[in-house]
């Protein structure tokens, strides 16, 4: 096989890999679709000092390593992830419903793990949501 033929095969192979990758991995900024049921879900846990304190402790244990101590998406593991960590202090994040935040925390997606097993008590997930609400700019 001559050098030109090898080069052509190599270029076609790289091109095929790039196309396959483009169709199998979601693009950065891919919207996170939250079912209507969760968008409209009301938080049953009052955002009082006790709930926020419990949420802060759970956040420190499960979320801080990626999202950072102030929720800016700058935790110690953030740089290792394929997707950008959410910044909880932004108006865009804070404008989401409590139900949407509950859903995202519980279900996970891509690099964001599901916390159904790690935080099995729904009240505790709501406590984390209440704590995330304190991380405003």
Residue 18 counted as domain residue: no
The count of residues in the chain is: 137
**Token pair listed for 51:** 């709930």
Say which range, 9-13, 59-63, 71-75, 100-104, has the weakest mean pLDDT: 9-13
* CB within 8 Å of 51: residues ≥ 6 apart: 45, 126, 127, 130, 131
* CB within 8 Å of 70: residues ≥ 6 apart: 89, 135
**Token pair listed for 41:** 């879900």
Tens of pLDDT, residues 68-112: 999 999 999 999 999 888 899 999 999 999 999 999 999 999 989
Residue 23 counted as domain residue: no
Tally of domains within the chain:
1
Residue 20 counted as domain residue: no
Kindly report the pTM of this predicted structure.
0.77
């Amino acid at each position: 096989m001559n050098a030109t033929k090898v080069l052509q095969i190599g270029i076609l192979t790289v091109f095929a890999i790039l196309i396959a990758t483009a169709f199998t991995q979601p693009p950065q900024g891919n919207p996170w679709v939250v079912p209507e049921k969760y968008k409209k879900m009301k938080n049953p846990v009052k955002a009082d000092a006790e709930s926020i304190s419990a949420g802060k402790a759970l956040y420190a244990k499960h979320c801080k390593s990626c999202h950072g101590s102030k929720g800016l998406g700058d935790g110690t593991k953030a740089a290792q992830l394929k997707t950008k960590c959410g910044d909880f202090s932004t108006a865009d994040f804070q404008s989401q419903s409590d139900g949407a935040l509950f859903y995202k925390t519980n279900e996970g997606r891509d690099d964001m793990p599901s916390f159904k097993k790690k935080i099995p008590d729904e009240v505790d997930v709501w406590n984390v949501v209440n704590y995330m609400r304190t991380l405003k700019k």
